[in-house]
Structure 1
């Protein structure tokens, strides 16, 4: 499985064009290039950008939900609200729609950060606030999330 790597400070213009760093554009090519899906994050005021093949795998799982249960239909509607398909142009920019720009409160200064098989687009000040958690809080979170995983079980010769 491929993962995006890196955190980049970027600029977005008044028309919603976000100039991507060349090293990120190269990584995007490793995911097949072409189309990517931009969506609202579920937990934070940022945008998530999925390679099309990763998005299709995620939607295969979501499409297995029973849409005749209201909570499932509501979840799917909210999860897919505002989706846009983007492709980097020849100048290495993607177009972020106005509704998504407003959702993430994107101003001129932005941060793009890797998040495994996707990357996130943040307003720079919001990103800095989110990552400014103190070391003790992060240590407790890391232990809670990762502490019970036996990594030796995952290693296969």
Structure 2
């Protein structure tokens, strides 16, 4: 699957259904029939939507953990807590289960944002706050995460 691109303002109906944005649906068209896994984010009050192939890659890595180590077993249990299999229906809608809407404080206005190979689903206000909160130290974070020392490129 290609990398996903885009951030979209959307609405969730009273039944918890999200109409997938057309451009995102187009990007996902090769994997729509395989279904998705929807889970709670580890670091934020948002949801993560994994195309099935991406989820299987991640689970393959986790399956290599030694389950006779308590911390590994605890991690697997917590990471997979609340995981749901979901599909995009014939009308292009994705049903967000009630327990996950409660976790992410999703009401009506949401943001659907690409995150390389997965999609984040946020309550619009929480998304805007997360972006605003990160703005102050983003330059420092970008340098720390992505900055390369010149020596790595053979430059003195």
Question: Is the TM-score greater than 0.5?
Answer: yes
Which TM-score applies when normalising by structure 2? 0.91
Distance 2:122 2:115 in 1: 12
Distance 1:124 1:137 in 2: 21
Per-residue displacement from partner, 1:110-156 (whole Å, max 9, x unpaired)? 00000000010000000000001365511000001111377x97xxx
Q: Structure 2: which 5+ runs fail to align?
A: none
Q: Structure 1: which 5+ runs fail to align?
A: none
Distance 1:108 1:39 in 2: 19
Match of residue 51 from structure 2: 51
Match of residue 22 from structure 1: 22
Distance 1:110 1:56 in 2: 27
Please list every run of at least 4 consecutive aligned residues from structure 1 whose deviation after the TM superposition is greater than 2 angstroms. Answer: 133-136
Per-residue displacement from partner, 1:52-83 (whole Å, max 9, x unpaired)? 01110000000111111111111001100111
SS at match of 1:132: helix
Change in CA separation of 1:134 and 1:28 when aligned onto 2, cut-off 3 Å: closer
Distance 1:26 1:58 in 2: 24
SS at match of 2:29: helix
Change in CA separation of 1:3 and 1:89 when aligned onto 2, cut-off 3 Å: same
1:53-72 alignment, distance < 5 Å: 53-72=53-72
- 1:13, distance to aligned residue in structure 2 (A): 1.5
Distance 2:142 2:3 in 1: 20
Change in CA separation of 1:87 and 1:149 when aligned onto 2, cut-off 3 Å: farther
1:85-124 alignment, distance < 5 Å: 85-124=85-124
1:129-148 alignment, distance < 5 Å: 129-133=129-133, 135-148=135-148
Distance 2:129 2:21 in 1: 23
Match of residue 74 from structure 1: 74
Aligned residue pair count: 151
Distance 2:110 2:5 in 1: 17
Supply the RMSD in Å over aligned alpha carbons.
1.7
1:144-155 alignment, distance < 5 Å: 144-148=144-148
